[in-house]
Amino acid sequence: MNTTLPTTLAQASPSGSGLLMLIAAGVALFVLFAAILFFASRYRRCPSNRVLVIWGRSGKQSARCYHGGGQFVWPVIEDYAYLSLEPLVIDIPLEGALSLNNIRVNVPSTFTVGIATDAVLMANAAERLLGLRADQVREQAQDIILGQLRLVIATLSIEEINKDREKFMGLINENVTQEINKIGLELINVNIRDITDESGYIKAIGQRAAAEAINTARVEVAQADRDGATGSATAQREQTVSVAKEQAAATEGQKQAEQAQRVAVAQLEATAISGEAESKRNQDIAIAERNAETIAASKRAEQEQRIKVAEAEATAVSGENVSSAQIAESNAKLAEIRAEAKRRADVATAKATEAIMLAERERELARLAKEQLAPQEIEKQRVEIAAEAEAEKQRREARGQADAILAKYEAEAEGVRKVLEAKAEGYRQLMLAAANNPAVAPTLLLIEQLPKLVAEQVKAIQNLQIDKITVWDSGSNRLIENKGGTTANFLSSLIGALPPVHELAKQAGVELPSYLGTAKAEELDGSKNGDVDLPPRRAGKEGRDG
Q: Sorting pLDDT into bands at 50, 70 and 90, what band is 426? A: confident
Angle at 299 between CA 298 and CA 303, to 5 degrees: 120
As a whole number of angstroms, the distance between CA 226 and CA 231 comes to 9
DSSP state of 183: G
pLDDT digits (tens, 9 = 90+) for 220-230: 776 777 777 66
pLDDT digits (tens, 9 = 90+) for 267-283: 887 787 877 778 788 88
The helix or strand, by DSSP H or E, that contains position 230, with its residue range, turns out to be: none
pLDDT digits (tens, 9 = 90+) for 61-116: 778 888 877 777 777 778 888 888 889 999 998 888 888 888 888 889 999 999 98
Angle at 57 between CA 53 and CA 61, to 5 degrees: 60
Asked whether the beta carbons of 112 and 89 are under 8 A apart, the reply is: yes
Please report the pLDDT score of residue 3 as a whole number: 46
Per-position DSSP letters for 259-323, written without gaps between them: HHHHHHHHHHHHHHHHHHHHHHHHHHHHHHHHHHHHHHHHHHHHHHHHHHHHHHHHHHHT-HHHH
Asked whether the beta carbons of 152 and 98 are under 8 A apart, the reply is: no
Residues with Cβ < 8 Å from 38, sequence gap 6 or more?
A: none
Please report the pLDDT score of residue 49 as a whole number: 82
Domain 234-433 matching CATH 3.40.720: the answer reads no
As a whole number of angstroms, the distance between CA 144 and CA 178 comes to 10
Taking alpha carbons only, the member of 254, 257, 286 closest to residue 46 is 286
How many residues comprise the chain? 546
Asked whether the beta carbons of 539 and 483 are under 8 A apart, the reply is: yes
Q: Please, which residues bridge with residue 53 across strands?
A: 65, 81
442 pLDDT more than 60? yes
As a whole number of angstroms, the distance between CA 33 and CA 38 comes to 9
As a whole number of angstroms, the distance between CA 96 and CA 149 comes to 12
Angle at which helix 501-508 crosses helix 521-528, to 10 degrees, equals 90
Q: Does residue 503 or residue 140 have the better pLDDT?
A: 140
Q: Sorting pLDDT into bands at 50, 70 and 90, what band is 501? A: low
Specify the CATH superfamily of domain 50-207.
Band 7 domain (3.30.479.30)
Tell me how far apart the terminal alpha carbons of the chain are, to the nearest angstrom.
196
Q: What is the mean pLDDT of residues 501-505?
A: 65
Taking alpha carbons only, the member of 117, 102, 150, 137 closest to residue 51 is 117
Instruction: Encode burial over 39-55: b for 16+ CB neighbours within 10 A, e otherwise.
Output: eeeeebebeeebbbbbb
Domain ranges, ordered by start, for the chain: 50-207, 234-433, 440-545
Torsion angle defined by CA atoms of residues 361, 365, 367 and 370, in that order, rounded to the nearest 10 degrees? -170
Q: Which of 238-242, 352-356, 386-390 has the lowest mean pLDDT?
A: 238-242
Amino acid at 402: A
As a whole number of angstroms, the distance between CA 59 and CA 70 comes to 20
Burial of 282 (0-12, 13-18, 19+ CB in 10 A): buried
Beta-carbon neighbour count of residue 472 at 10 Å?
5
